[in-house]
Amino acid sequence: MPLDHLLIVAFVLFVVGAAGVMVRRNLIVVLMSIELMLNAVNLAFVSFSRQMVDHDGQVMVLMIFVVAAVEVAIGMAILVNMYRQKRSLSVDVFHSMRG
């Protein structure tokens, strides 16, 4: 597959993820949209790595996978705690929790 096509797919995935973060009000959907954006970046890194015949992009993908796994673990723990307190996962409910 040509590099152009892979980058277009990565761009579309990133835009869909960014739209999900901007539009949706449910925190679980927002976290899934952030994961989609991270996967779009992973696709771009692997595409460039394959084009340049270099393994640096693939190493970066592994690091992003680690960051994504930590984000899911910590994010879901925070969401469970917030749901127990407010009984809702809407972003609007948590807007009032500022310090």
User: Which residue has better confidence, 94 or 39?
Assistant: 39
Residue 40 lies in a domain: yes
Q: What is the DSSP letter of 54?
A: -
CATH number of the domain residue 54 falls in: 1.10.287.3510
- Classify residue 80: in a domain, yes or no: yes
pLDDT of 32 > 70? The answer is yes
- The answer to whether residue 66 is domain-embedded is yes
> Tokens at residue 3, please?
């590099």
Mean model confidence pLDDT for the chain? 87
- Asked whether residue 61 is assigned to any structural domain, the reply reads yes
CA 48 to chain centroid:
20
- pLDDT on residue 95: 67
98 belongs to a structural domain:
no
The residue segments making up the domain with residue 65 are 3-93
Domain assignment present for residue 58? The answer is yes
pTM over cut 0.85: no
Domain count, the chain: 1
CA–CA distances in Å: residue 86 to residues 22, 27, 42: 22, 13, 35
What mean pLDDT do residues 51-56 have?
88
